[in-house]
Amino acid sequence: MSNLWISDEQSETTCLISPNQSRTPLSTFNRYRKIKRAQIELETSIMLGDDDTVIPTSNITISNTAPAMVHAEQSSRSSLKYRGTNGSNCIALTDSDEITIDEASAPIESRYDDFHTIDWQRDLARDRLRHKFIVKRSKTPFGKLSSLWDAGSGWACVLMVGLAAGTIAGIIDIGARWMSDLKDGVCADRFWLDREHCCWSANDSVYKDADCAAWTSWPEMMQFYERNFFYYVLELFFYCGWSVLMTGVTVALVKVFAPYACGSGIPEIKCILSGFIIRGYLGKWTFIIKSVGLILASASGLNLGKEGPMVHLACCIGNIFSYLFPKYGSNEAKKREILSASAAAGVSVAFGAPIGGVLFSLEEASYYFPLKTMWRSFFCALIAGIILRIMNPFGSDQTSLFHVDYSMKWTFVELIPFAGLGLFGGIIGSLFIWANIKWCRFRKANKTLGSNPVKEVLVVTLITAFVSYFNPYTRRSSSSLIRQLFDRCGPEDFMMDLCDYQNKTFSFDKVDDNYHTGELGAGVHSAFIDLIMALIIKLILTIFTFGIKVPAGLFVPSLAMGAIAGRLLGITVEGIAASLQVRWKFVAFQ
């Protein structure tokens, strides 16, 4: 049986309560041995924090039932429960504690109040006590099996998190693409397919921006086939109606069931990983509502992304699965190891970068990140990426939104426009931050907007859908737009304005590497103007969108604006190079 030490505040000494005193009257506590506090800390290797509450002997009572229990109550604040183990001679008491002196029991979970900070030293000390208890029981066959399971439980937990995170990410990507195309129409024969897969299933060799016979628009579903004014008005009505309906359902779910499901979630995740307690932020309801809401909000056409919320969802998965393993579910400090690995998995499925996820968790999110957590984070991120690759939500055997071929050589002179592009990005970023802060302050001060988040979401959605409908690049989802801007022109893109070049050196059997190095055609000039308008529209709408009460990230809109600016710069440099090349040839001929 173990001993329990109770600190005495006045004399800074420690009182020893032997187990055989469990049924002794309270008056016998006056007969105890006093040992200095520093000596006790040295012998037990447990550090007592400055905020530990000292329990006077007048408040100590002993239960009359076995096992022996010392119960102390001082206030109605947070309650921490510990159990004594064989060989543990000192346990810190805080506020209201129940300590069972039983060598057959291990420390049980500690509870913290909402919006409190965990005690890292105490929780890690409790984990060391738990480990000593398991080691002493490992002499028996069952104890050895329990010790092996305890050692491998961390790997099992991150494996489950990786599998679940990859699956959820694939479902969200597929669902968002299908519902995004639902604003324009439906696949008549196979309604469960999005537009791209619908055209592929119909053996339509040309899909990009071309009419697909298998895809039916909503006016055509109502027997309006002629492309007249009424046709486009009806198409606009369905486009805006679906967008408002999706965001309306999303904001209603968030407001009623899970208020924590709105926003990106990354700032709060960083606070939680640093040791802050936010009850319900990583709960099952937040996970369910944010998963459904993220699909609807992404498909509605709002200028937001799903990459930031994926980190929040992955951490929700890690928090839920941690309770299957008492080693992590009952210890807030150890639980942060699983949450760090979950954050890495979230970045992995968002960008298709397992190593990038580990670096994000290490450098940006985590406060406590031991070496073993790094390997587990990489394993979790790798498993999540593999599952997403197997599900293949983008239909390109890639886990990322876009794939770029860097085989083309570049010259030193090209660094000048690259530097200009970086300068432009910095200016746009500063402008966005300044304007968004101003808008958030106005929203907070305005009673109409501050007290009616549902109206704000619906109004922003309606304006976004109406303005975006008339521009072919803002009408697309941000993910689809990024993929289109990063694609190189080929023979299948002859109907796209971005690929309207006057000198095309290609055949349908072989495409020349210089396919789009000719002079710019009328379609490219038209696309150039549309891209400029799309950049301005996206910048303005993103300022008003980020901060509304729906699941929303900021990575994809930022990438979309950067991709538009890069394509504009590329077209400009390409046109200048083609013009200079023609002039040089003319001078050389003369």
Is residue 317 located within the same domain as residue 194?
A: yes
Is residue 183 located within the same domain as residue 81?
A: no
Q: Which two tokens stand for residue 369?
A: 């990140």
Q: Helix or strand or coil: residue 15?
A: strand
Residue 171, in any domain of the structure: yes
Residue 8, in any domain of the structure: yes
Is residue 219 located within the same domain as residue 330?
A: yes
Q: How many CB atoms lie within 10 A of CB 282?
A: 25
Peptide bond into 453 cis (omega under 30): no
Give the residue from 358, 391, 424 where a domain finishes: 391
DSSP 47: P
Is residue 475 located within the same domain as residue 505?
A: yes
Locate all alpha helices (DSSP H) within 263-306, ordered by sequence: 266-273, 284-299
- Reference 270, options 349, 194, 364; nearest CA is 364
Query: Are the C-beta atoms of residues 12 and 51 closer than 8 Å to each other?
Result: no
Is residue 287 located within the same domain as residue 378?
A: yes
Is residue 91 located within the same domain as residue 184?
A: no
Count structural domains, the chain: 3
- Reference 484, options 415, 543, 560, 413; nearest CA is 560
Q: Which two tokens stand for residue 225?
A: 């086939």
Longest Cα separation, the chain: 116
Give the residue from 357, 391, 425 where a domain finishes: 391
Is residue 94 located within the same domain as residue 155?
A: no
- Domain residues for the domain of 492 are 412-589
Is residue 209 located within the same domain as residue 354?
A: yes
Residue that is written with structure tokens 């922003």 in the block: 460
Q: How open is the CA angle 7-12-15, to the nearest 5 degrees? A: 35
- Reference 143, options 154, 155, 131; nearest CA is 131
The reported pTM is 0.76
Residue 138, in any domain of the structure: no
Q: Which two tokens stand for residue 403?
A: 């794939």
Interatomic CA distance for residues 18 and 2, integer angstroms: 8
Residue 131, in any domain of the structure: no
**Which residues is 216 bridged to in the sheet?**
186
CATH number at residue 235: 1.10.3080.10
Q: For residue 399, what pLDDT is reported? A: 63
Q: How open is the CA angle 58-61-65, to the nearest 5 degrees? A: 170
Is residue 264 located within the same domain as residue 327?
A: yes
Residue 142, in any domain of the structure: no
Is residue 466 located within the same domain as residue 380?
A: no
Is residue 86 located within the same domain as residue 159?
A: no
User: What is the sign, positive or negative, of the torsion defined by CA atoms of 358, 359, 362, 366?
Assistant: negative
Residue 122, in any domain of the structure: no
Interatomic CA distance for residues 518 and 500, integer angstroms: 10
* Contact residues for 255 (Cβ-Cβ < 8 A; gap 6+): 453, 454, 549
Strands 97-101 and 82-84, sheet pairing: parallel
Query: Are the C-beta atoms of residues 258 and 286 closer than 8 Å to each other?
Result: yes
Residue 30, in any domain of the structure: yes
Interatomic CA distance for residues 67 and 296, integer angstroms: 55
Residue 120, in any domain of the structure: no
Query: Are the C-beta atoms of residues 539 and 520 closer than 8 Å to each other?
Result: no
From first to last of its 590 residues, the chain has per-residue pLDDT tens of: 333 444 433 333 334 343 333 333 333 333 333 333 333 333 333 334 444 443 443 444 433 333 333 333 333 343 333 333 333 333 333 433 344 334 444 555 567 888 889 988 888 888 888 888 888 888 888 888 888 888 889 999 999 999 999 999 999 989 998 999 899 888 888 888 888 878 876 555 444 545 677 888 898 888 888 888 899 999 999 999 999 999 999 999 999 999 999 988 999 999 999 999 999 999 999 999 999 999 999 999 899 888 889 999 999 999 999 999 988 988 899 999 999 999 999 999 988 889 999 999 998 888 888 888 999 999 999 999 999 988 877 666 666 666 676 677 777 888 888 999 999 999 999 999 999 999 989 888 887 777 788 999 999 999 999 999 999 999 988 888 888 888 777 665 656 777 777 655 544 444 445 455 567 777 788 889 999 999 999 999 999 998 899 998 888 899 999 999 999 998 888 888 777 765 554 444 44
Is residue 194 located within the same domain as residue 343?
A: yes
Q: At what angle do helices 120-137 and 141-181 cross, to 10 degrees?
A: 130
